[in-house]
Amino acid sequence: MASPSSSSGSLLTILFLFCLPAWCSVSGFKICAFNVQSFGDSKIRNTEVVHTLVRIVSRCDVCLLQEVRDTKRKAVPLLMKALNSYNSKHQYDYVASHRLGRTSSYQEQYVFVYRTSSVIVTDQYQYPDTLLGDEDAFSREPFIVRLRAPKTAIKEFVLVPQHTTPSNATKEIDALYDVFLEIKRRWKTETVMFLGDFNADCGYLAKKNRQRVRLYSNQAFLWLIGDKDDTTVRDSTSCAYDRIVVHEESFAGALVPQSAKPFNFAKEYGLTEEQALVVSDHYPVEVELRAWSAQIGGNSPLLIFLIFTAVFIST
C-alpha cells in the first residue's frame, strides 16, 4: 500500500501537470504604440519595410499605429493582409479614425490593430475639440477605444492615443486630462491608458513646464516610459518622445513589472541605423498586462480542489 508521503507526491505531480504553462501560467498581454512615420503608399510597396512592420506589430495583442498617411486607403488593408498571412496562430483586425489634421495638405489617422482572439472593441469615440471650447487644443484629436480583454487581470480598459504637434506638446498633453474627465463621465471608468508620440522630451516639453501639465502634476497618473528611455532610432538623439501613461490605482496589480519599455527593433532584427530609419525614426513603446490562460487558473474550482487535497494528504 502506498504511504501517505507517496500519495501526496503523486497528487502533487498531478497538480504540477495541471499547472504546466499551457494550462495555468500567467502570460503577458502586450499593448504597443508605434509612430510609423508617414506610413502610406511608398512604405507598403517596400517589402523589407512591410516584413519588419509585420514582425513588430505581430508581437502585440493591440498596437496603436500613428502617423498613418494612407491617402489612397490601400496601405492599411495591405498591411493587414500581410499581417494575417504571417502567422496562422493569430488573426488581426483594426479600427481607424478618420483623417485628422489642421489642413487638408497634411492629415493622419490613428489605427488600432488587435488580435481578434484576445481583444473585443466594445466602443469607439472620436473626441471633439469643441468639448474644451478650444478648437486648437489638439492638432489630431484622440480617437478613443474601449476594449474588452477577458484574459487580462482588468478585463476592460480604455486606450487614448495622442500624437502631439511638437510646438504645442505642453498644451496637448495637458488637455489629455480633460479627455480623461470626459471618459470618466461618459463611460463611468477610470481604467484609462494614454499612449503615443507625445513629443514629451528634448525641448518640446521643458521640465520647467511640467507642473502645467495635469498628467504630470496629478499624482493619480503613472508615467510608465521614463525620461531616460530613448524612443528614437538615430544614434545621435536620445529623447523619450513616446510615452505610456496610466491611471495608477485602476491599473494597480494589473501591469507586469518592468515590462514598459521601448522596443529596439533595429537591435532585435539586426538592422543598421540606415535600414531601421526606412521603417521609422521612432521605436515602438510597449507594456504588458497580467493575463491568465482560459483553461485553468485564478480561482478555478478544480485547481482549488487539487491544492486543498494535496495539503490535506500531506498533513
Tell how strand 285-292 and strand 143-148 pair up.
Answer: unpaired
Inform me whether the pLDDT recorded for 302 exceeds 50. Answer: no
Q: What percentage of the chain reaches a pLDDT higher than 90?
A: 75
Tell me the DSSP string of 61-129: SEEEEEEE--TTS-HHHHHHHHHHHH-TT--EEEEE---EEEETTEEEEEEEEEETTT-EEEEEEE--G
More confident residue, 103 or 169: 169
Does the annotation mark 163 as catalytic? Answer: yes
**Backbone phi, then psi, for 7, in 5-degree steps?**
-65, -40
- pLDDT recorded at residue 291: 77
Inform me whether the pLDDT recorded for 205 exceeds 80. Answer: yes
Inform me whether the pLDDT recorded for 17 exceeds 90. Answer: no
| Catalytic residue from among 51, 90, 98, 108 | 108
Q: What percentage of the chain reaches a pLDDT higher than 70?
A: 83
Residues 183, 186, 192: CA angle, nearest 5 degrees: 25
- pLDDT recorded at residue 300: 46
Round the average pLDDT of the chain to a whole number and report it. Answer: 88
pLDDT digits (tens, 9 = 90+) for 116-164: 999 999 999 999 988 877 777 899 999 999 999 999 999 999 999 999 9
Q: What is the pTM assigned to this prediction? A: 0.86
- pLDDT recorded at residue 134: 73
> Which domains, ranges and CATH numbers included, belong to the chain?
28-314 (3.60.10.10)
Does the annotation mark 108 as catalytic? Answer: yes
- pLDDT recorded at residue 309: 52
- pLDDT recorded at residue 86: 96
More confident residue, 84 or 105: 84
The order of strands in the sheet holding 242-247 is: 120-126, 143-148, 156-161, 192-197, 242-247, 221-223
In this prediction, residues 10-22 reach a mean pLDDT of 43
- pLDDT recorded at residue 308: 52
| Catalytic residue from among 51, 98, 156, 163 | 163
Confidence bin at 3 (pLDDT 50/70/90)? very low
Q: What are the grid coordinates assigned to 231, written together?
A: 524612443
